[in-house]
Amino acid sequence: MWAAQQGIVGINQMLRQMLFYFPFRIRQHKSLSSVILDAVMNLSQNMLEAIIAYKVENDGVSPSLAELSAEFDAAKSQVQEQVGRLIASKRLFKTPGKSRNLAVVGGKWQWADPRPYPAKRVGDVLKVIVAYKEVHNGNAPSHREVADVLELSYTGDIKAYLDELTDMGYLQAMYATDRHIMVVGGAWTCDEVALKQANPDFYYQRQLFPPTEGVSGRPEDAV
């Protein structure tokens, strides 16, 4: 009990020391709880930006919790807490699967530069991947899920087909990690309107999407 009390006292002292370094006006007009809330909100906003950037750069594939943990130098439990906040505020949602399953509200994946599907089973594998990514915000299916759709019992066959698709120029060689399948010519984008409607305060404050000329960026100014 004493150790717990000492820990609480230490945290309070640390927070008050942090407040000392805030500009006088902020300390004068903001309570301790509001400053802490702002810090939590900023972390959530930064994490959402990181997730969006990752999905743009990786053909819609979601970052893993381990990657987010490394990016923010935070424990996985802290990352999970922030992800939970983003889901509760309707900025994120989850697609099926236990890993790489984060989806952004307003996000959309499409095969922007499609090519004819190859013949036989290898073409069927590509069709499953493309269909899955279109429905699941750019996130990719696991090898097991692809095998189940095609009624294959051995997931090693899927790895062989992925290798073949990579050699044929349909995939980028990033699928060694499960659910990290990137289609050549695929593109993941965000719907600015849907994102702003879900998070008006966040997108106005952070200017993640710069306002168009003559528009302040606030939702009420949009036509």
The confidence score (pLDDT) of residue 109 equals 96
Shared-domain flag, residues 92 and 114: no
The confidence score (pLDDT) of residue 154 equals 86
Provide Rg for the chain, Cα atoms: 22
Shared-domain flag, residues 56 and 134: no
> 55 lies in which domain range?
2-106+192-204
The confidence score (pLDDT) of residue 220 equals 39
The confidence score (pLDDT) of residue 10 equals 47
Distance of alpha carbon 95 from the chain centroid: 11
Shared-domain flag, residues 10 and 101: yes
Q: Give me the tens of pLDDT residue by residue for the chain, a chain 223 residues long.
A: 334 334 444 444 444 444 434 444 444 444 544 444 445 557 788 899 999 999 999 999 999 999 999 998 989 999 999 999 999 999 999 999 889 999 999 999 999 888 899 999 999 999 999 999 999 999 999 999 999 999 988 888 898 999 999 999 999 977 666 789 999 999 999 886 676 666 666 554 555 544 444 433 333 333 3
User: Which phi and psi angles does 186 have, rounded to 5°?
Assistant: -80, 155
Q: Pull the structure tokens for residue 36.
A: 């802490």
The confidence score (pLDDT) of residue 191 equals 81
Shared-domain flag, residues 11 and 74: yes
Shared-domain flag, residues 151 and 170: yes
The confidence score (pLDDT) of residue 146 equals 94
- Tell me the CATH number at 151: 1.10.10.10
Q: Cα–Cα distance between 197 and 53 in angstroms, integer?
A: 20
Shared-domain flag, residues 100 and 113: no
Answer whether 222's CB lies under 8 Å from 147's CB: no
Is 219 among the domain residues?
no
Answer whether 218's CB lies under 8 Å from 201's CB: no
The confidence score (pLDDT) of residue 222 equals 35
Shared-domain flag, residues 56 and 163: no
Shared-domain flag, residues 71 and 164: no
Is 160 among the domain residues?
yes
Shared-domain flag, residues 157 and 50: no
**Residue type for 51, please?**
I
Count up the domains in the chain and report the number. Answer: 2
Shared-domain flag, residues 177 and 80: no
